[in-house]
Structure 1
Amino acid sequence: MTELDDLLLPLDDGPLAPAPVKESGWKLLIVDDDEDVHAATRFALAGVRILGQPLTLAHAHSSDAALALLDADRDFALILLDVVMESEDAGLALVGQIRSRLGMTETRIILRTGQPGYAPELAVFNDFDINDYRTKAELTRTRLITTLTAALRSYRQLREIADSRRGLELIVRAAGELMGQKGVLAFGEGMLGQLKALLAHPFDGFFCVPGEGGEQAAPRLLCACGRFADKAHTAHGIADDGGALALVARTFASGRTLFSGRRGALYLRNSVQAAVVYFELAADAPALAEGQRRLVEVFAANLSACFGKVRLVEEVLSSAHVDGLTQLANRTRFILDLDALAAVCEPNSVVALLDIEHFADINDGLGHDVGNALLQAIAQRLRQELGSKSRLARIGADVFGLIGSEELINPENLFRIFATPFAVSEHSLPVSASIGLSRVLEGGLSGISLLKRASIALGRAKSSLHLHHEYFIAEMEDSPRRRLEIIRQLREDFDAGKLALWYQPQVALDSGEIVGIETLARWPQADGEGFVHPPSVFIPLAEYSGLIVDIGEWVVVEACAAFARLRELGLAPRHIAVNVSMPQFRSPHFSTLISETLARHALPAGALELEITESVAMDEPKIVANTLRALKRAGARIAIDDFGTGYSSLNHLRELPIDCLKIDRSFIDEIGADTSGGEAMQEAKGTTRGGMFAETIIALGRKLGIATVAEGVETAAQAEFVRAQGGTIGQGYFFARPMPFAALVDWLAARRAD
């Protein structure tokens, strides 16, 4: 006797053949290592229909065989699974694979076991969504069918929910895609395609609107598919439709979506007109279930809102080239006009950009409403004066573009237009403008190129203190092109390690001792003869391009390495100085770089001096003071470079933890120069205006208890003057020119020998 003696019905010894199934129904997978169980299950379910559908059984005798079968076919509604097969947990392990790896979340699973004392933990049911658990002994035929019925009903509900979810996702996606259509015809074609995806069946159908006689007349097909495809775009609709026109007419009359068997008519309406999407499925396709019909109704309602926006989209597209505030052409339209102008190269044509000066002040002082009204008033006056013979546009917040003949578009005429103040609200606003102009002298240019030329001229005009207008000339284009070429070359040479550091000593004026060295970045030529560009050219461009941060970090690291080498040679002065740019100084990682670099080379505190300009020091003084204190804690000295050329507040200066003031070389240059009218006067005063500035800075340093360094000392008289006034350190060609590291070592060694 086996465990199956009490299961289902007594079995004959011969094998049972499965009952043939002629129609598709519920697919069940039986997984068990006992062939008797498979045979008993086939016998019990032979000819059974559950929820109106027959059963199709598949069999596997191990978890591995079941997994291989499911890898090939996952379309199973239910799995009857033995818990204990080749191992005690083989069935549970297979459940994990089914749910996790195969992703079969809707398939129902019923566990069966021949060991009454074995039952999975409750957590297993929750974790793997197990539908039921039964011992084989308790599954009589009636109980088996009852259990399967409950599980398959659950499966059907899950499938309906999943189908609805997928349908809703498709509806949302369809709405997004159809919203972007540019007209009713394109919308209709898209609607037919999206409906075919929703129904998952091919169909014959069309998208139609009422004919000339209104909704009661035969519809006019705008687009169609299937058997109606050759009737699309016909003015009189279709004559013989086999019932299609009747359903469409009822839909227009009722104002709602209707169904009839395998046919449907979706009703759409916007503020102007109605439309109907008609479809009919093939004769062998199943009729729409209730859930599918509800989805189609949701689809129609959702897409009706999109249909309502089609006209709005058309209006938006028609206004894509118009500035909403001034109703002039916008930048996009202006560039298209420039393209047309460049193509024909109209003689005597001019492109102009007109920038309203101090417009931001009007917005800030009088409000944006007044600012907008002013722009509208300017646009109106330009129309009155130039509109009929010129093309006008608003291409920026306060920038207008003009195209026309030079007889009209010229500085004198444009300034005349702005000579009279603009009456805006309760204000009479005088308005001035900067104008950049470019003559169209050659063909083959693009609209963007013409706009660029006028923009370059406008930039020159805005920087002019007198003219407020500029015509483009070819040389203007060379300057930015050259600047970009230098930046490109600088980046390549820096990445290739071709930049170099040179060093200039700083000398104590009272003793002649070498007290410091300033590090200077150089860009040498490949042959070592001369430089590609001087620092006055490439350093500002490095700041402009953002490369200065990387260059600055490299200078700090290399300078500290060089100073450590000098210490090893016994030639090191008290400190080595590097210049710090604004972007470096603002970097949150800068103080960390300083402390780590000093530690890496075992340099003492004060060995590295950071030179920041006066403008950096005075930018947001509280933040600057905190940053400088952090750098001091990291072990750096602080010097203010080019002192006297900025706008320092002495009160703020007193709050900064600085060690040194560097007197700008422009003040040193004037020492000994005749700036007061004659040598006799100079000798009588013993100084000059430049000398007085230097003397003042030296006195300020002495009062603050900090050192002063005179930059650009080139003569003995300048050195003596600075020393006599109490200056402590000099730097310049009088003492030594900047030199590469090897030359610096030789120079320091020679000084040490003397």
Structure 2
Amino acid sequence: MPASMTPGVAAPMHDDLVFLDETPRAPTRPSRPGWRILIVDDDADVHSTTTFALAGLEVQDRPLEFLHARSAHAARAVLAQEPDIAVILLDVVMEQPDAGLQLVRHIRETLAMKDVRIILRTGQPGYTPEMEAIRDLDINDYRTKSELTRTKLYTTVAAAVRCYQQLRALVIGRAGLERIVHAGTELMRLHGARDVARSVLRQAAALLGQEAAGVLCVREAGGLRVLGAAGSALELEGLTLDAHEEAMLLGAAARALAECQSEFSPTCMALYFPGKSGRDFCAAIPLSQPVSEGNGRLLHVFASVVAVGLDNVELVGRLNTAAFFDRLTGLPNRTRLVEELDAAVAQGKAPGGTLEATLTLVDLDHFAETNDALGHQFGDALLVTVAQRLQQQLDARLTVARISGDIFAVLGMAERNTPAAIQALFAAPFSIDGQDVQVSATLGLVRLHEHDGSGADALKDADIALKRAKSQQRSGHFYFSRSMGVEIRERVRLMHALRRGVGRGELFLAYQPQVDLATHRPFGAEALLRWRLEDGTMIPPDRFIPIAEYSGLIVEIGAWVLREACAELMRLRSAGHLAFTMSVNVSQAQFRHPHFVDVLRRALRESGAPPEYIELEITESMAMEEPQQLTEMLAQVKRTGVSIAIDDFGTGFSSLSHLQRLKVDRLKIDRAFVSEITGSARGSSIAEMVIQLGRNLGLSVIAEGVEDERQAQILHALGCPLAQGYLFSRPLSPQALLEWLGTQQLENAA
């Protein structure tokens, strides 16, 4: 999960080890053969930083030797060839998100390496391995890389090495060792301090061959808190007591915790379990007989395993909180919400199941502005207050979550989870630090009984509805519909296909000739972008060009169109068509790109195309937006020598004074007016006005979409000099265009 969902609060996590000024003891005399440490990580810096941090240090008067693998696959090869590896420092996420855990499974199950100690490390604190993997695969430790200072890294490795040493050394008492391993696994199966504590007492008693008895406690303010108890001490469970109240057991525990070491007497033992999370534990157990030397060694190993187990239990609890709950508000986060959505969807799909639940996304209006104006601390306080009101005043059976900066989610039965119920909570202002703030919210909703897919899909659908609501009216709401989902998914599919198509060369240009109406002689052509899939299917421009603009691909595609059109113009000139103009459509996103003029100059320079025979077409709607900026851009374009035409003229509401300032060269009468010219006085009159306007402003005029002779005659009679359309030619391939021009030359010559 993100390090922080609080707007404006950055909490970046880096995939590296952090070493402070802590310095473990360096060796003072020559060392014996070293402990072999295998570092498995796909980050080279982690290898070098780890070896640097541990260089020259000893464990049990023996140095550390390092082996390296940059992937789980490479680690398998090392493990197959190198014996006696004591500890593996293993990255969780490598080639795949579960590569580390899969390697652990290979080590434990396939290679049957039970002694080697494994320490998982991750640079992603929100990533939580599966609980089953942590508990079942005998993972020694699990740490985020950023929390491992030099001393803590050394301590973790040293503890693992000692554990390895003891496991290797203790051949006698194999049954006891197996019981110890079972104890560690058993701890990971349990949830809750009491169950864990009781299990530790049972396992310790089993190692000693006696009935379970005693207490497991932790030091807290006011005394020792008994987390779990057994036998005659069971009545102490859950109490916080002074050590003097139970002299033998609690006194032994207090001394072990104070001295940070286990204590053995003929009648009582206190096993000390150091905790890496800041809390140490101790099990005080009455003895039926003194502890033998062999059992003493087993108990020390047992204490090491239990210490790791207890620490992991607390670690898993903290990771669960970090992974599934929002740190600022304490509400469930996106990950937890998706789990609940999955459960809700599964319940509705079960045989006989009925699901009348709704998911609502609640987006605070203008929160960013409030955050910027009043500060992030104020914004955080507002988020907490909104969370409290949603949680306290909505039906208690509804789930409230915070899934991103200022977006909350409400999940539950449809009749309780309604826009009216949620919007009512925003009627009253929110009091923040004595200041009343009026906040509104926009809602996106999805009815789960109308939804097909997973919980994550339902969340996406609700987000689609929220975006639609925000685009229509702030402080309103919108329900997701199946048609919206189909439309969005089709657009996404087409966008990915277009991206692949650009790389595969599926886009090409077709050229539609433009003619002089008086002589029917061709004088130019318009370059038209086309897309043909590998199977030959043609995708209409009105489907893929908006997607190209939305995705930003239009800038790359537009640059290619310019280069290709200029190159085609030069091929036509080399064939003898010197007085021929090439028109190229330019999209708004492409035209407003800061490097557009540079792209245009480069296309002209590299192709050698004369700029006076290149015409750029922009739409009338583009021409009317931000007139000052457009005027400056057009001035730069005009300085290259190319001409400018306004496409689809007549469909917008152009300001004539603005049109004069733009200094364009040509107007194109929209095909809608051309198609109406033979049967509608309105169509004819608009075409005539455009023609007259062009004449008055000294602009050339061309009509597009001319499909029959009658339209051509009327346009010519109205004074329109130029035209293009199916009457003259459909869009042609480069070779077909060359052949068509040759035919036209012959006909005009005849």
Query: Structure 2 length normalisation: TM-score?
Result: 0.54
Q: 1:740 to 1:403 in 2, by over 3 A?
A: same
1:453 is matched with 461
Do the aligned partners of 2:517 and 2:722 also contact (CA within 8 Å) in 1? yes
Q: 1:468 to 1:732 in 2, by over 3 A?
A: farther
Do the aligned partners of 2:345 and 2:454 also contact (CA within 8 Å) in 1? yes
**What is the aligned counterpart of 1:738 among 712, 731, 734?**
731
Q: Distance in 1 between the 2:208 and 2:366 partners?
A: 64
Offset at residue 519 of structure 1 (A): 0.6
Offset at residue 613 of structure 1 (A): 4.5
Q: 1:353 to 1:694 in 2, by over 3 A?
A: farther
**What is the aligned counterpart of 2:715 among 714, 719, 730?**
719
2:324 is matched with 321
After TM superposition, the structure 1 = structure 2 runs for residues 665-744 of structure 1, keeping only pairs within 5 Å, are 665=670, 668=673, 687=685, 699=696, 701-702=697-698, 707=700, 709-712=702-705, 715-716=711-712, 719-720=715-716, 723=719, 729-732=722-725, 736-744=729-737
Do the aligned partners of 1:178 and 1:187 also contact (CA within 8 Å) in 2? no
2:105 is matched with none
Aligned-residue Cα RMSD (Å) equals 6.2
Letter paired with 1:738: P
Do the aligned partners of 2:120 and 2:141 also contact (CA within 8 Å) in 1? no
Q: Distance in 2 between the 1:378 and 1:717 partners?
A: 69
Q: Distance in 1 between the 2:596 and 2:476 partners?
A: 42
Do the aligned partners of 1:669 and 1:712 also contact (CA within 8 Å) in 2? yes
In the TM superposition, what whole-angstrom CA distance separates every residue of 1:227-254 from its partner, at most 9, and x where no partner exists? x98899976599xxxxxxxx99987555
Q: Secondary structure at the match of 2:609?
A: coil
In the TM superposition, what whole-angstrom CA distance separates every residue of 1:480-504 from its partner, at most 9, and x where no partner exists? 2333444455556655555443222
Greater RCO, 1 or 2 (C-alpha within 8 Å, sep 6+): 2
2:361 is matched with 354
Offset at residue 436 of structure 1 (A): 1.8
- The reply on whether 1:437 has 2:446 as its aligned counterpart is yes
Offset at residue 573 of structure 1 (A): 3.6
Q: Secondary structure at the match of 1:388?
A: coil
1:574 is matched with 580
Letter paired with 2:359: A
1:404 is matched with 412
After TM superposition, the structure 1 = structure 2 runs for residues 204-353 of structure 1, keeping only pairs within 5 Å, are 252-254=257-259, 272-273=279-280, 314-315=317-318, 317-345=320-348, 347-353=354-360
Letter paired with 2:741: L
Do the aligned partners of 2:361 and 2:443 also contact (CA within 8 Å) in 1? yes
Letter paired with 2:491: R
Q: 1:721 to 1:408 in 2, by over 3 A?
A: farther
Offset at residue 568 of structure 1 (A): 3.2
Q: Distance in 1 between the 2:693 and 2:521 partners?
A: 25
After TM superposition, the structure 1 = structure 2 runs for residues 593-632 of structure 1, keeping only pairs within 5 Å, are 594=600, 597-598=603-604, 601-613=607-619
Offset at residue 536 of structure 1 (A): 0.9
In the TM superposition, what whole-angstrom CA distance separates every residue of 1:402-459 from its partner, at most 9, and x where no partner exists? 22222212344444444555555533525242332223258x8422233233333334
Q: Secondary structure at the match of 1:347?
A: coil
In the TM superposition, what whole-angstrom CA distance separates every residue of 1:39-74 from its partner, at most 9, and x where no partner exists? xxxxxxxxxxxx999xxxxxxxxxxxxxxxxxxx99
Q: Distance in 1 between the 2:208 and 2:396 partners?
A: 48
Q: Secondary structure at the match of 1:562?
A: helix
Unaligned runs of 5+ in 2: 1-27, 35-54, 68-86, 91-117, 143-154, 171-176, 184-196, 217-251, 264-271, 284-292, 295-303
Q: Distance in 1 between the 2:623 and 2:729 partners?
A: 29
In the TM superposition, what whole-angstrom CA distance separates every residue of 1:10-57 from its partner, at most 9, and x where no partner exists? xxxxxxxxxxxxxxxxxxxxxxxxxxxxxxxxxxxxxxxxx999xxxx
In the TM superposition, what whole-angstrom CA distance separates every residue of 1:567-618 from its partner, at most 9, and x where no partner exists? 2333354321222345655778766665565456543333333334567678
1:520 is matched with 528
Larger Rg: 1
Do the aligned partners of 1:665 and 1:713 also contact (CA within 8 Å) in 2? no
Aligned residue pairs, count: 541
Taking only the aligned residue pairs, the percentage that are identical comes to 33
In the TM superposition, what whole-angstrom CA distance separates every residue of 1:281-328 from its partner, at most 9, and x where no partner exists? x99xxxxxxxxxxxxxxxx9xxx9xx9999687445335322334333
Q: Distance in 1 between the 2:476 and 2:56 partners?
A: 74
1:480 is matched with 488
Q: 1:272 to 1:482 in 2, by over 3 A?
A: closer
Do the aligned partners of 1:353 and 1:399 also contact (CA within 8 Å) in 2? no
Q: Secondary structure at the match of 2:405?
A: coil
Do the aligned partners of 1:663 and 1:711 also contact (CA within 8 Å) in 2? yes
1:211 is matched with none
Offset at residue 520 of structure 1 (A): 0.7
Q: Distance in 2 between the 1:335 and 1:527 partners?
A: 38
Q: Distance in 2 between the 1:476 and 1:391 partners?
A: 26
Q: Distance in 2 between the 1:52 and 1:406 partners?
A: 74
**What is the aligned counterpart of 1:541 among 535, 543, 547?**
547
Letter paired with 2:524: G
Decide which moves more: 384-393 or 738-747. Answer: 738-747
Letter paired with 2:396: S
Q: Distance in 1 between the 2:724 and 2:431 partners?
A: 61
- The reply on whether 1:388 has 2:396 as its aligned counterpart is yes
Q: Distance in 2 between the 1:417 and 1:158 partners?
A: 63
Q: Secondary structure at the match of 2:538?
A: coil
Letter paired with 1:660: D
Unaligned runs of 5+ in 1: 1-50, 54-72, 75-156, 209-218, 239-246, 259-264, 277-281, 284-299
Do the aligned partners of 1:329 and 1:394 also contact (CA within 8 Å) in 2? yes
In the TM superposition, what whole-angstrom CA distance separates every residue of 1:553-575 from its partner, at most 9, and x where no partner exists? 44334333432332233335432
Q: Distance in 2 between the 1:595 and 1:178 partners?
A: 50
Q: Distance in 2 between the 1:359 and 1:560 partners?
A: 49
Q: Distance in 2 between the 1:398 and 1:418 partners?
A: 14
Letter paired with 1:438: R
Q: Distance in 2 between the 1:575 and 1:368 partners?
A: 58
Q: Distance in 2 between the 1:720 and 1:221 partners?
A: 98
Q: 1:394 to 1:583 in 2, by over 3 A?
A: same
Do the aligned partners of 2:527 and 2:585 also contact (CA within 8 Å) in 1? yes
Q: Secondary structure at the match of 2:396?
A: helix
Q: Distance in 1 between the 2:579 and 2:459 partners?
A: 57
Q: 1:393 to 1:255 in 2, by over 3 A?
A: closer
Q: Secondary structure at the match of 2:584?
A: strand
Query: Structure 1 length normalisation: TM-score?
Result: 0.54
Letter paired with 2:615: E
Q: Distance in 2 between the 1:470 and 1:692 partners?
A: 43
After TM superposition, the structure 1 = structure 2 runs for residues 71-150 of structure 1, keeping only pairs within 5 Å, are none
Q: 1:524 to 1:324 in 2, by over 3 A?
A: closer
In the TM superposition, what whole-angstrom CA distance separates every residue of 1:111-136 from its partner, at most 9, and x where no partner exists? xxxxxxxxxxxxxxxxxxxxxxxxxx
Offset at residue 540 of structure 1 (A): 1.6
Letter paired with 2:402: R
